[in-house]
């Protein structure tokens, strides 16, 4: 992870390096608030919920197949 540059003690407050890119604020906000560990955690949550959805869909499909077989 890249780190913020260390301003040497010699640089006055007014002249310190303070990047602000107001034309692209959104990803800044997102990544300022979450770190790589959190990104992975979110991915785990997303995949887990996807898995859960697939399990429910699988059960529903099995039920549908059973009904269709009975009707046959």
Partner 1 sequence: MSAFPISLRAAGEPGVASISEFAAVARDTRRPVLLIGFLRQGNLGLGYLSATLRRFGYRVEVLDFESDVDELVAAACRLQPMLVGFSLIFQFYVRRYAALAQALRDSGVDAHFTIGGHFASLSSQETLNLVPEIDSIVRFEGELTLLELTDRVSVGADWRDVPGIAYRSAEGECHMTPARRLIHDLDTLPWPDRDYDPESILGQPAMPLIASRGCSRTCSFCSIHVFYRAVPGKVVRLRQPRQVVEEMAHLHHERGITIFLFQDDDFPLYGKVWQRWTRDLIRELYRADLVGRVIWKLNCRADAVEPELFAEMRDAGLYLVYMGLESGSEDGLDTLNKGVEVAQNLAAVRMLKELGLTFEFGFMMFDPSTTFESIRANVGFLEAIVGDGSNAAVFCRMLPYDGTPIKESLAREGRLRGDVCDPDYDFLDPRINALYEDLNDLVYVAGWIHGHRALSPKINWAWNELAVLDRLFPDLRGRARYEQSLRAITRASNDLLFRLVLDLAAAHEAGRSHRWNEERLAAPCDRLVERLAVARDGFVARNQTVLLRTIENQRLAVAA
16: CB partners within 8 A, 6+ apart = 7
Piece of the chain touching partner 1 by CB under 8 A; list 5-13, 51-59, 60-68: 5-13
Is 26 near partner 1 (CB under 8 A)?
yes
Is 38 near partner 1 (CB under 8 A)?
no
Number of residues that bind partner 1 (CB under 8 A): 31
Residues 56 and 21: beta-carbon distance below 8 Å: no
Sequential DSSP letters for 38-55: HHHHHHHHHHHHHHHHHH
Is 39 near partner 1 (CB under 8 A)?
yes
Is 44 near partner 1 (CB under 8 A)?
no
């Amino acid at each position: 992870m890249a780190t913020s540059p260390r301003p040497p003690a010699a640089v006055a407050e007014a002249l310190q390096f303070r990047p602000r890119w107001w034309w692209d604020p959104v990803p800044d906000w997102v990544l300022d608030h979450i770190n790589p560990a959190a990104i992975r955690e979110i991915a785990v949550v997303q995949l887990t919920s996807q898995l859960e959805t697939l399990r429910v869909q699988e059960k529903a499909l099995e039920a549908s197949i059973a009904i269709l077989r009975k009707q046959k």
